[in-house]
């Protein structure tokens, strides 16, 4: 209950000052970093086979990454290589204050945006797959298949909000996730970096100590970007926290603000 109240208070405060936002309060650190800093936690937990265990008694609690290219939220600023189509669309979304943001309609955030929403998530690691449970947005789960399968051929794949994710290990320390098969209806972040049906995301998850998750996403979408670009940030582990029930459609104030027609 305490954490629920904390999230409500913080969320309300962020929404109230969003137009003036410069640096997220929960991510302040030394001058020039724009993110919190903390001493390293206990050693990285590992599974019996030596691979990193991304689970544990607690949750991963990210900051709200409003912009995957802005150093206020990520480790390094990115000069996003827009195509003409994507730049025009991005500028339109900035000009209208992201009023058509699909997440405002309680639609799934997609990838990589789900990792940068201000709600916790958990990993469930099994022999043939990794499942990520998300508290926020649409309260969904994501399957990452680890059984050596290949992606479904493009002419047979069923496009979805979260795509088709296939993972593997680089050594014992890095989980790599390759995702294709998106439906083209998600935004990469709040500020509106576009994505199309051709979106291809490669993510890397690392846990250098028990309290730290290093996240990296490489975005490739030939319709939206002239070349792939990579972004990364850090997520903190909150021991003892649990995922809570979250119903996005319940008492959703955004709908009255942004209109009643869902974005296409």
pLDDT in tens, 223-242: 999 999 999 999 999 999 99
Q: Is there a domain that residue 221 lies in? A: yes
Question: Would 16 be classed as within a structural domain?
Answer: yes
pLDDT given at position 123: 98
Residue 2 pLDDT more than 80? no
| Across 35-49, 96-110, 175-189, 200-214, least confident range | 35-49
Separation of alpha carbons 170 and 177, rounded Å: 11
Confidence of residue 59 (pLDDT cuts 50, 70, 90): very high
Residue 115 in any domain: the answer is: yes
Does 22 map to a domain?
Answer: yes
**What is the CB neighbour count within 10 angstroms for residue 157?**
14
**Using H for helix, E for strand and C for coil, what is the string for 63-99?**
CCCCCCCCCCCCCCCCCCCECHHHHHHHHHHHHCCCC
Range of the domain at 108: 2-250
Residue 27 has a pLDDT of 36
The number of distinct structural domains making up the chain is 1
Helices then strands, each counted (H, E), the chain:
3, 9
Residue 262 lies in a domain: no
Q: How many CB atoms are closer than 10 A to CB 237?
A: 20
Length of the chain: 264
Per-residue pLDDT, averaged over 64-81, amounts to: 98
Residue 19 forms part of a structural domain: yes
Residue 256 lies in a domain: no
Q: Decide if 257 is inside a domain.
A: no
Burial class (CB in 10 A: 0-12, 13-18, 19+), 17: exposed
What is the pLDDT, as a whole number, of residue 221? 98
Main-chain dihedrals φ then ψ at residue 91, nearest 5 degrees: -65, -35
| pLDDT tier for residue 11 given thresholds of 50, 70 and 90 | very low
Give me the chain's average pLDDT, please.
86
Distance CA 113, CA 116 (A): 5
């Amino acid at each position: 209950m305490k954490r629920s109240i904390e999230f409500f208070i913080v969320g309300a405060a962020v929404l109230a000052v969003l137009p003036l936002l410069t640096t997220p309060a929960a991510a302040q650190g030394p001058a020039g970093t724009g993110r919190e800093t903390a001493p390293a936690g206990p050693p990285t937990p590992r599974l019996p086979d030596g691979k990193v265990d991304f689970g544990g008694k607690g949750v991963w609690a990210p900051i709200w990454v409003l912009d995957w290219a802005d150093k206020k939220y990520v480790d390094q600023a990115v000069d996003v290589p827009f195509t003409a189509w994507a730049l025009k669309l991005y500028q339109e979304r900035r000009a209208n204050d992201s009023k058509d943001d699909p997440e405002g309609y309680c639609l799934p955030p997609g990838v990589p945006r789900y990792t940068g929403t201000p709600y916790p998530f958990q990993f469930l690691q099994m022999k043939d797959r990794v499942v990520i449970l998300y508290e926020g947005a649409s309260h969904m789960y994501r399957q990452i298949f680890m059984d050596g399968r290949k992606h479904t051929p493009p002419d047979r794949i069923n496009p979805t909000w979260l795509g088709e994710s296939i993972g593997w290990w680089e050594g014992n320390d890095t989980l790599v996730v390759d995702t294709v098969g998106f439906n083209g209806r998600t935004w990469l972040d709040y500020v509106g970096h576009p994505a199309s049906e051709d979106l291809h995301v490669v993510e890397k998850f690392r846990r250098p100590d028990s309290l730290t998750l290093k996240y990296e996403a490489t975005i490739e979408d030939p319709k939206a970007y002239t070349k792939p670009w990579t972004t990364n940030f850090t997520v903190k582990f909150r021991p003892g926290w649990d995922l809570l029930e979250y119903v996005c459609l319940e008492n959703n104030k955004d709908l009255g603000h942004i209109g009643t027609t869902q974005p296409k």
